[in-house]
Amino acid sequence: MARRRVVVTGSIKGSRTAWLFLGFILRLYHIQPIFVHPKRPLPKSFKGLIISGGVDICPKTYGHDEPFVCEEARDRMELELLQKAYDQGLPIFGICRGMQLINVFFGGTLHPDIHDLDLNRPHPNSPFPINTIEIIPKTRLHEILKTTRLKANALHHQAIETLGENLRISAKDSNDLIQAIEHTERFILGVQWHPEYLPYSPVHRRLFQAFANSL
């Protein structure tokens, strides 16, 4: 089977580990990843888009002015790729900051720092699957994962505040923080956790299988 070319985004520095894990799991499903960052030329054609995790989205991108360390060039690159993929009807999968950027692309906003929120319990921060995620029934995510609850890692300190247009929530955690979103009509899916770091889990691999099936 010919490998389908899919763009996978990242930062100029700091994305090597995520790309290593993503490259491994994508090749399992006959996908050829094209890794791009703001200093690499963007491919003219591709079959799908994965926006990986990484540094915070610049707050001014969604109307805030908090002075966070961010990578404006990456924000611009990914928003350009999102627009191109959306216009061409290509499948889009966002991981962690990727989910957040999908929300911003559709007009949503973010909480710049969830530690400023009144949470039910301390927010976990771990690459290991210690965060309990509740999947909302009758969503695309529920159809893909075939479960209503799973354990996932948590490596984020920002979260969705207001939901973008034509998006719906498909998972939350025990702090009522949004953990997954999806487009109401197309294969545009975002998860707040990092399934690529859990390749041993059949449930988490189903996300990549579904993305591959949508190409």
Using 50, 70 and 90 to split pLDDT, how confident is the model at 114?
confident
Per the model's pLDDT, the better-predicted residue between 91 and 54 turns out to be: 91
Asked which of 57-71, 122-136, 185-199 is least confident by mean pLDDT, the reply is 57-71
Evaluate if residue 64 carries a pLDDT over 90.
no
pLDDT in tens, 7-23: 999 998 889 999 999 99
Q: Which burial class, exposed, middle or buried, applies to 34 when counting CB atoms under 10 A from its CB (0-12, 13-18, 19+)?
A: middle
Using 50, 70 and 90 to split pLDDT, how confident is the model at 2?
low
DSSP tag of 90: -
Per-residue model confidence (pLDDT) at position 65: 75
Query: What's the rounded mean pLDDT across residues 108-116?
Result: 84
Residue 14: what residue type? G
d(CA 176, CA 120): 8
Query: What's the rounded mean pLDDT across residues 106-118?
Result: 84
Residues with a catalytic annotation lie at 96, 194, 196
Using only C-alpha atoms, what is the Rg of the chain? 16
- Residue 132 domain boundaries: 4-214
Q: What is the pTM of this model?
A: 0.95
Question: Percent of the chain having pLDDT more than 90?
Answer: 77
Using 50, 70 and 90 to split pLDDT, how confident is the model at 1?
low
Q: Do residues 182 and 140 make contact, with C-beta atoms less than 8 angstroms apart?
A: yes
Query: What's the rounded mean pLDDT across residues 82-101?
Result: 98
In the chain, the number of structural domains is 1
Evaluate if residue 150 carries a pLDDT over 80.
yes
Question: Percent of the chain having pLDDT more than 70?
Answer: 97
Per-residue model confidence (pLDDT) at position 67: 64
Q: Do residues 70 and 110 make contact, with C-beta atoms less than 8 angstroms apart?
A: no
Evaluate if residue 49 carries a pLDDT over 70.
yes
Place of tokens 């025990």: 174
**What CATH number should be reported for the domain holding residue 203?**
3.40.50.880
**What's the full length of the chain, in residues?**
215
Per-residue model confidence (pLDDT) at position 185: 97
Q: How far is CA 66 from CA 78, 87, 102, 104, 111, in A?
A: 21, 31, 20, 16, 11
- Return the C-alpha torsion angle 108, 122, 71, 215, nearest 10: -60
Per-residue model confidence (pLDDT) at position 112: 82
Evaluate if residue 66 carries a pLDDT over 70.
no
Reduce the secondary structure of 16-66 to three states and give it as a string: HHHHHHHHHHHHHCCEEEEEECCCCCCCCCCCEEEECCCCCCCHHHHCCCC
Q: How far is CA 86 from the centre of its chain?
A: 15
Query: What's the rounded mean pLDDT across residues 103-113?
Result: 93
